[in-house]
A and B are shown apart, each in its own frame.
Chain A
Amino acid sequence: MNKAAKQAAIGLALVLMLLAGVIPVQAAITGLTGTAFDLVAREGYISTADGSSIYSWGYASGAGRMQYPGPTLIVNQGATITVTLRNELPAPAGNVSIVFPGHAATASGGVAGKLTQEAPPGGATTVTYTFTAANPGTYSYHSGTNVGLQVDMGMVGAIIVRPAGFDAMNPTAYGHADSQYTYENLFLLTEMDVPMHNAVASGIAAGAINVDTTAFFPVTWFINGRSAPDTMLADGVPWLPHQPYGAMAMMHPADRVLLRLVGGGRDMHPFHHHGNNSLAIARDGKLLESAPGLGADLAVSDFTITVLPGGTVDAIFTWTGEKLGWDIYGHLVTDPLEPGEYAPDHGKPLPVQLPSDLEVTFGGQWSGSPFLGGGGSLPPGEGGLNPNGGYFFMWHSHNEKEMVNFDIFPGGMMTHVLIEHPSVMLMEGN
């Protein structure tokens, strides 16, 4: 297949995909930008992939819908950030508030609570939180009121502080080249005790909430507010109106993907990313550097990252397919090299024969070929979720129990990264 014909085929495919409503992958995380944010605590129902609806609370932006997690706030280093909060939750829910771990926030308005100023129900009172986004990095925000209940109910979100001099065409997380990335992805990890949510809903209907948060026992797990496989859908799909953020990562070989991991619940989670080790370059918004300006010289490579409750980790993932001992493109020796291809393996055949079609069970994301960008014939009804022949690698909590949607496997805290052939344009699809 010559290059011109290949490009024409891809161009035509691109037009068709655009008509079908899919869009090119954005390099940056979806969120709200600026210096002033207007958040409102609202109730709503979120959907899980097992078909359930869970009564939840969340921060909405202005007159918008309640969302889980709350809006991701993307701000610039050094800016003074103002977040106003009103409470439109039903009266039995009580007051709400926001705390900003890693930031020295002051609060005014509302009523005094244990941790900070709180907004009482009724929606008439505004609490104003102010902080300076002094340091770049990944942070979270969550309710500071009745925290044991409200965070599980959904009152949590992420904050991203862009470094001074941030250039969207050559982005870094911390200014230093060690934090440079091609794509960034947010992975906000949470869990929910669904029977507790049902008890809260009943309590509200009856006029008083009475739940024992010490008996917390999660049964459904989320990345960015969605349970698998909804985690792999694009941002803003219309049938998940209260869960606007997807968790699907996409890349080409040799790209650097920044994982912004946020522990948004009360449990620890071991986040295992298949495909390769990652380099954890920062924790809790602090670059792992032994002295300022040295870059991430204390960074640690690992294949599973422990995400602590309330903590954040920034890790760089890359993948080249090198040193496998066979040509990942299925080249003949006489074929030209792909950009960045590991030359010593060029032209080496797959060292084994794969079993016949009748002997295997096919995954939906199996292209029919072991090669990157490859495809092959599949029995009717098989595959179909990998039209460009990319490599899918599962990224998930390795507490396997957490890959479940309320007793239904698979689900929960799981998503994928899709590594596409260098000639394939990365597209977010439905």
Chain B
Amino acid sequence: MLLLLLTSALVSCIVVTQAGAEVLVQCPADTDGIDTDGDGIVDNDIVCKHLAAGDGFINMADGKLQYIFGFSDVTAIPVADVMMEGMVNANFPAPTIKVKEGQKLYLTLTNVGMMARPDLFDPHTVHYHGFPNAAAVFDGVPDASISINMGSSLTYFYYNAEPGTFIYHCHVEAAEHMQMGMLGQLYVTPRQDGTSYADPDGSGRTYTKFAYNDGDGSTGYNVDYPIQIASFDPDFHDASFSVQPLPFALMVDRYPMLNGRGYPDTVNSAELMNTAADVGWGPNKASQKVNAHIQAAQGEKILLRISSLSTTSFHTLSALGIPMKVVGKGARILRGPTGKNLYYNTSSVDLGGGEAADVILDTRNVPAGTYFLYVTNLNHLSNDTEDYGGMMTTITINPAP
């Protein structure tokens, strides 16, 4: 009775499609005549992306095959072929999403089902982690919104008002789906990009790419790399593949990874093929498309867009031999409310799950050569029992041109 009394006082004006299960991409043309991303063109502010959510396989750096859940990029795939293309094709990490401040992102999520687990009918969502002033409907938390069932599509809409380094992941049965690998990187470049600023350090260097709208070039960089901290518990993944109860309480990660790979795969520039055919789930697919190898010319500034999606631990990242300056945290420039610069120089950055930081490495006084970016949780420099692996990658500084 209470519900009836209250609904009479509410506004209700949602129009719902009456279709059955279908893959449907919503990607309208930009006809509002307004240039929202500031590039002077009024009809190019809409970006469309189409992700398939399902299961798949990747190989750890020691060769172990792991069953995963994940996202794959089906933006270029015709709607009629999306289900077939997306099945057993999960990537880890999920496809990186890069947009500009002021762009409108229409993100279609199609649930292609978990083929290796026909007993599961899990829905999926996308949680755009850190999105400012979010609305529950597009926030991706299943109990506070809607999640998409197998065989259907849900299109999320995001107006990207804030530049910075964000994260996205599935939030359905979060402890399970996140441990299983539905984790992606997302970042928004600032409106200031394209304007030239001199480096405030007086070195004479100039930049046209920035982490934030700093107004003075202080977050300028030459090359940027997203670095995702995440790790797997192989017992959890094996239990999922063999339809066993999942060990939440005993979750202990033994495969630490940067960008979905343990060293030395972190520095392998190829897209890595899995060995899913070994367990009858072929053909083998390229399911790890992102590596963690960083390169720059001597004298350049490297922006590391670091995020952590560890489900169990905090990690500390260090660039051995290269000065680090933290210029952003939580997708905001590191300045106080009155504009005071709070950038700090450091040799290590700590992140817990759900945290992101923007760190600039300045190679100005660093000789050309190979350097290491690694976590100082030294036991995480391993691929399970294999030493000299895990969350470690290299930074190659090439001689200045």
Contact = CB atoms under 8 A, between A and B. Distances in A.
Interface of A: 1, 5-6, 9-10, 12-13, 16-17, 20, 178, 219, 268-270, 272, 274-277, 279, 288, 290, 296-304, 306, 319-326, 328-331, 350-366, 368-376, 384, 387-389, 391-394, 397-401, 403-404, 406-410, 416, 423
B12 A374 contact: yes
Given A279-B337, A407-B248, A391 B144 contact: yes
Contacts of B353: 270, 272, 304, 397-400
A404 B175 contact: yes
A372 B104 CA distance: 21
A330 B133 contact: no
Interface in B301-344: 310-314, 329-332, 334, 336-338, 340, 342
B366 to A, nearest CB: 28
A399 B312 contact: yes
A409 B135 contact: no
Contacts of A362: 146
Contacts of A298: 336, 340, 342
A412 B142 CA distance: 17
Contacts of A384: 3
Contact of B133 (A324, A353, A369, A389): A324
A358 to B, nearest CB: 6
Contacts of B6: 9-10, 13, 375, 387-388
B96 to A, nearest CB: 19
Interface residues of B, number: 89
A363 B251 CA distance: 26
B354 A303 contact: yes
A354 B24 CA distance: 11
Interface of B: 1-3, 5-22, 24, 26, 28, 104, 106, 123, 127, 129-130, 132-139, 141-149, 151-157, 159, 161, 171, 173-176, 178-179, 247-251, 310-314, 329-332, 334, 336-338, 340, 342, 350, 352-356
Contacts of B1: 16
Given A304-B352, A306-B352, A361-B146, 8 more contacts: A1-B11, A9-B5, A268-B352, A279-B337, A323-B161, A330-B11, A352-B26, A387-B6
A277 B5 contact: no
Nearest to B151: A359
A19 B73 CA distance: 53
A388 B350 CA distance: 40
Contacts of A351: 28, 104, 106, 157
Contacts of B334: 300
A329 B12 CA distance: 9
**Residue among B157, B247, B248 with the most chain A CB within 10 A?**
B248
Contacts of A406: 249
Nearest to B146: A360
Contacts of A274: 127, 134, 139, 141
A210 to B, nearest CB: 23
A235 B15 CA distance: 39
Contacts of B144: 363, 365-366, 391-394, 416
A374 B141 contact: no
Contacts of A389: 10
A269 B352 CA distance: 8
B352 A387 contact: no
Given A306-B314, A351-B157, A276 B133 contact: yes
A416 B144 CA distance: 10
A393 B141 contact: yes
Interface of B is mostly: loop
A404 B247 CA distance: 11
Contacts of A290: 340
Given A374-B12, A403-B174, A302 B143 contact: no
A322 B127 CA distance: 18
Contacts of A364: 143
B139 A360 contact: no
A13 B159 contact: no
Contact of B14 (A6, A219, A369): A369
B135 A391 contact: yes
Contact of A303 (B129, B148, B313): B129
B15 A355 contact: no
**Residue among B8, B154, B336, B354 with the most chain A CB within 10 A?**
B354
B17 A321 contact: no
5 contacts: A5-B9, A299-B337, A355-B19, A360-B148, A423-B9
B141 A363 contact: yes
Contacts of A361: 123, 142, 146-149
A224 B394 CA distance: 43
A374 B10 contact: yes
A364 B142 CA distance: 9
B14 A376 contact: yes
A372 B178 CA distance: 29
A202 to B, nearest CB: 20
Given A298-B340, A352-B106, A329 B148 contact: no
A400 B15 CA distance: 35
Contact of B178 (A6, A359, A400): A400
Contact of B16 (A178, A354, A393, A401): A354
Contacts of A16: 1-2, 5
B29 to A, nearest CB: 12
Given A13-B6, A394-B144, A323 B133 contact: yes
A399 B352 contact: yes
A328 B135 contact: yes
A389 B129 CA distance: 23
B175 A371 contact: no
Contact of B248 (A1, A408, A423): A408
Contact of B12 (A9, A369, A372): A369
Nearest to B250: A407
Contacts of B13: 330, 369, 371, 374
Contacts of B10: 1, 369, 373-375, 388-389
Contacts of B127: 274
A306 B332 contact: no
Nearest to B339: A297
- Top 8 A-B residue pairs of the complex, sorted by shortest distance between their CB atoms: A398-B354, A302-B330, A270-B352, A325-B159, A370-B137, A359-B152, A392-B144, A363-B143
B185 to A, nearest CB: 15
Contacts of B340: 290, 297-298
**Residue among A17, A322, A350, A397 with the most chain B CB within 10 A?**
A350
Contact of A275 (B3, B139, B159, B248): B139
A394 B161 CA distance: 22
B132 A276 contact: yes
Contacts of B20: 356, 358-359
